[in-house]
Chains A and B, each alone.
Chain A
Amino acid sequence: MQDTLATLISALLAAGLYATMSYGLALIYGVLKVINLANAGVLMLGAYVTWWMWDAFHVDPLLAPIVVLPLFFLFGIVLERVAVRRVIEQEPIVSLLLLFGVWLILQNIAYAIWTGDTRSIETPFIESTFKLGGIQLAWPRVYVFVAGALTLAVLQLFLTKTQFGRAIRAVSQDREAARLAGIDVERIYAVAFGIGIALSAFAGSLLSLLFPFGPDFGQALQLKSFCIVVLGGLDSFVGVAFGAILLSLAEAFGLRYMAASLQNLISFVLLVVVLIAFPKGIAGIIRSLRRV
């Protein structure tokens, strides 16, 4: 019982991390209908910037998002203006290949500046733990979970309560109708892409608190975030959060029956099975059940 509870809690905490790294992917897909294959590269760079600020300037990694978020928001806007914009209207595979090229370049930037060595951040906070009812928990995990939940809340408020957020939703639902309603669709594209990239970099910043990383880091996470977004149904952030919890639970409980080195297999298999069997995600299943 104690064991199951511990697994459950650690799975839930990990879900906060999984959700954060998938929001950006979902937002960019929702608005631009482009699959951001560079997501892993952005995650990795977000982690590096956080590490570098800590290593070179002794900036507390918890403060790093103050720099990471605006920096990558700008990067996202520039990337959209320079490259992504040109391929939005083309076949989806074109933008996929373009962003794949961007991923390679981002990886190279990390190799060139910070070499291929594995990096990790060590602060007293990162190593601190506490006990809750006999279960040992790490503070940074709790922090990352709270950050993920807060991000979801802020995103939901932004998208439902602000004029700009509503415009973003309008574009994601029907770009032509949004254009007719007077929304500057091109501007929405750029801003949504910027926010999406900033969110992924923020997730990278959070990840650097938990795991050591290198330039190749993020490839397995890339697939996990795809899996989560597909599970969540590609169009709602609450869905994404549920997808994150589902994957996290599947991994945590799956690990009890299989070798640790096979952990990543769970997300790959889940991704392929869900893509094939339920192309509309879990939300789609619930919706179709409701209709019946």
Chain B
Amino acid sequence: MYRLIALGVVVLGFLIFPIVAPHAEYELDVLFLMFLYGAMATSWNVLGGFTGQVSFGHAAFLGIGAYATALLAAAGWPLWATFPAGGLLAALYSLLIGPPAFRLRGPYFAIATIGIGEATRLIALNWSSLTGGASGVTLSAAPPVTVQYYVSLGICAATVGAAAWIKRSRFGYALAAVRSDPDAAETLGVNTTIAKTQALFISAFMLGVAGGAYAMHYLYVSPDSTFGFSTSISLVIMPIIGGIGTIFGPLLGAAIFTALREQLEANPFLAKYSLDLSVFGLLLCGIVLFEPRGLLGIFDRLIRRGASRTRKDSVRE
């Protein structure tokens, strides 16, 4: 109950922030990115966390959504209509690659997704008549910062809400069964291939919509920025450092990721040595080795330790 109230207060705070501080453009911009990355990390988490299928190629879906928005907006579509269209295109693309890729398990699936992601980038790079090749596509005008802020907040809230609902649904339990033991899930009547394909479909749709917000913000999409391997890497890193398979973990990971990125741009020492890579690499190694539940798991431990300490103290008294 307290959690829900706290959550309500935070969301309300985000909702009224632009009204209270309409000229805080930098803060609005950073928050925009946090929401966007939060939505992206949550989308990845539906497949990677809930279903346990780690994908290193999810940039493909973000890229398709971003290109859809850029190209459809150029063709005269209203911006709001391009977002679901991008999501749908990304989801349709997932139907093309999901069924064959899901014949592979665990690490083999992960490796194949690197290939799928890179193949998609190369196709985007070489299909110049549609995508403009390496020079990319430019959008004409961005909506005001406040509008962008609310769009991004809305996408993030919808994505997280959908993910939370999925996690608690019958379908979510089927995904959890696929994650912990595919053979047992199959015995219990879960068609694992269909369940995985559905999870990928939802994940791809969400990322496609987020890709639209990406294009709206940067006004420029190119194969390397949207389809690039570094995008896929950040999609893996954020949920894992935050807490894979949880609802708030990806959001926490996205917030840390964005904050560190901003620090990197502001701090010449960090930028000179590209220390973000090491920070993420070390976080990833540390989490894999010591606390697979991510930073949320670490907080959880700290809180429990704190709680048991206060309990001991009260006993002593």
Q: Which of A91, A116, A262 is close to B106, meaning CB atoms less than 8 Å apart? A: A91
Interface assignment of B116: CB less than 8 Å from any CB of chain A: yes
A276 touches B275 (CB 8 A): no
What is the CA–CA distance of A103 and B288 in the complex, to the nearest angstrom?
Answer: 14
What is the CA–CA distance of A94 and B239 in the complex, to the nearest angstrom?
Answer: 14
A93 touches B110 (CB 8 A): yes
B277 touches A279 (CB 8 A): no
CB within 8 Å for A102 and B277 given contacts A93-B110, A275-B111? no
Q: Nearest chain A CB to B156's CB is how many angstroms away?
A: 25
B282 touches A87 (CB 8 A): no
Q: Write the B1-29 contact mask toward A (1 if CB under 8 angstroms, else 0).
A: 00000000000000000000000000000
B274 touches A223 (CB 8 A): no
Q: Which of A96, A109, A269, A279 is close to B119, meaning CB atoms less than 8 Å apart? A: A269
Interface residues on A, range: 35 or more
Of the candidate stretches B68-76, B87-95, B96-104, B168-176, the one touching chain A is B96-104
Q: Nearest chain A CB to B277's CB is how many angstroms away?
A: 4
**Chain A residues numbered 86-138 whose CB sits less than 8 Å from any CB in chain B:** 86-87, 91-94, 96-98, 100-105, 107-109, 111-112, 116
A108 touches B112 (CB 8 A): no
Does more than half of chain B's interface fall in helix, strand or loop, or is it mixed?
helix
Q: Nearest chain A CB to B295's CB is how many angstroms away?
A: 15
Q: Nearest chain B CB to A22's CB is how many angstroms away?
A: 13
Chain B interface residues (CB < 8 Å from chain A): 52, 54, 100-101, 103-104, 106-108, 110-112, 114-116, 118-119, 122-123, 125-126, 229, 233, 236, 240, 273-275, 277-278, 280-285, 288-289, 292
A-B contact pairs, 30 of them (CB 8 A): A86-B289, A92-B107, A93-B52, A97-B54, A97-B284, A98-B289, A100-B236, A101-B280, A101-B284, A101-B285, A104-B233, A104-B277, A104-B284, A105-B281, A107-B274, A107-B277, A108-B278, A109-B278, A223-B115, A223-B118, A226-B111, A227-B115, A262-B122, A268-B118, A272-B100, A272-B101, A272-B112, A272-B115, A275-B112, A279-B108
Q: Contacts A92-B107, A108-B277 known; list 17 others, CB within 8 Å.
A: A83-B285, A83-B289, A86-B289, A96-B107, A97-B284, A98-B289, A101-B283, A102-B281, A107-B274, A111-B274, A220-B118, A265-B119, A268-B116, A272-B101, A276-B101, A279-B104, A279-B108
